[in-house]
Chain A
Amino acid sequence: ESQASGLPEYIKIVEVGPRDGLQNEKVIVPTDIKIELINRLSKTGLPAIEVTSFVSSKWVPQMADHKEVMRGIERHPGVQYPVLTPNLQGFHSAIAAGATEVSVFGAASESFSKMNINCSIEESIEKFEEVAKSARNMNIPVRGYVSCALGCPYEGNIIPAKVAEVSKRLYSMGCYEISLGDTIGVGTPGSMKRMLEAVMKEIPLSALAVHCHDTYGQALANILTAIQMGVAVVDSSVAGLGGCPYAKGATGNVATEDVIYMLNGLGINTGVNLCAVMEAGNFICAALNKKTNSKVAQASFNNGTI
Chain B
Amino acid sequence: AFPKRVKVVEVGPRDGLQNEKNVVPTPVKINLINMLSETGLQVIEATSFVSPKWVPQMADHTEVMQGINKLPGVSYPVLTPNLKGFQAAVAAGAKEVSIFGAASELFTKKNINCSIEESLERFDEVMTAARAASIPVRGYVSCVLGCPYEGKISAAKVAEVSKKMYSMGCYEISLGDTIGIGTPGSMKEMLTAVMKEVPVGALAVHCHDTYGQALANILVALQMGVSVVDASVAGLGGCPYAQGASGNVATEDLVYMLNGLGIHTGVDLQKLMDTGTFICNALNRRTNSKVSQASCRL
How far, in Å, is A6 (CB) from chain B's closest CB? 13
Q: Which residues of A contact B250 (CB under 8 A)?
A: 217
Q: Which residues of A contact B233 (CB under 8 A)?
A: none
How far, in Å, is A4 (CB) from chain B's closest CB? 5
Q: Which of B216, B245, B256 contacts A298 (CB 8 A)?
A: B245
Contacts A/B (CB < 8 Å), 28 sampled: A189-B257, A189-B261, A216-B256, A218-B253, A218-B256, A218-B257, A220-B212, A221-B257, A224-B184, A248-B297, A248-B298, A249-B296, A250-B293, A258-B211, A261-B183, A261-B212, A262-B184, A262-B213, A262-B216, A265-B182, A295-B209, A295-B211, A295-B212, A295-B246, A299-B239, A302-B243, A303-B243, A303-B245
Q: Which residues of B contact A250 (CB under 8 A)?
A: 290, 293-294
A39 at interface by CB-CB < 8 Å = no
Contact B216 A220 (CB under 8 A): yes
How far, in Å, is A171 (CB) from chain B's closest CB? 27
Q: Which of B180, B223, B243, B297 contacts A3 (CB 8 A)?
A: B223
Which A-B residue pairs are the 7 nearest by beta carbons?
A265-B183, A188-B260, A295-B212, A217-B290, A217-B253, A258-B212, A250-B294
How far, in Å, is A23 (CB) from chain B's closest CB? 19
How far, in Å, is A233 (CB) from chain B's closest CB? 18
A294 at interface by CB-CB < 8 Å = yes
Q: Which residues of B contact A78 (CB under 8 A)?
A: none
Pick from A250, A251, A300 the residue with the most CB of B within 10 Å: A250
**A→B interface (CB under 8 Å):** 2-4, 185, 187-191, 214-218, 220-221, 223-225, 244, 247-251, 255, 258, 261-262, 264-267, 294-296, 298-300, 302-303
Q: Which of B185, B216, B260, B291 contacts A191 (CB 8 A)?
A: B260
Closest to B258 in A: A188
Number of interface residues of B (CB under 8 A): 43
Contact A249 B211 (CB under 8 A): no
Cα–Cα, bound, A267→B250 (Å):
27
Contact A224 B219 (CB under 8 A): yes
Contact A216 B294 (CB under 8 A): yes
How far, in Å, is B286 (CB) from chain A's closest CB? 9
Q: Which residues of A contact B171 (CB under 8 A)?
A: none
B215 at interface by CB-CB < 8 Å = yes
Within 8 A of A (CB), among B236-260: 239, 241-246, 250, 253, 256-257, 259-260
How far, in Å, is A258 (CB) from chain B's closest CB? 4
Chain B, 260-280, contact with A by CB distance < 8 Å: what is the 0/1 string?
A: 111000000000000000000
Contact B219 A298 (CB under 8 A): no
Contact B213 A265 (CB under 8 A): yes
Closest to B250 in A: A217
Cα–Cα, bound, A225→B215 (Å):
11
Q: Which residues of A contact B108 (CB under 8 A)?
A: none
Contact A217 B291 (CB under 8 A): yes
How far, in Å, is B296 (CB) from chain A's closest CB? 7
How far, in Å, is A180 (CB) from chain B's closest CB? 16
Contact A302 B219 (CB under 8 A): no
Contact B294 A244 (CB under 8 A): yes
Cα–Cα, bound, A266→B250 (Å):
23
Q: Which residues of B contact A214 (CB under 8 A)?
A: 290
B6 at interface by CB-CB < 8 Å = no
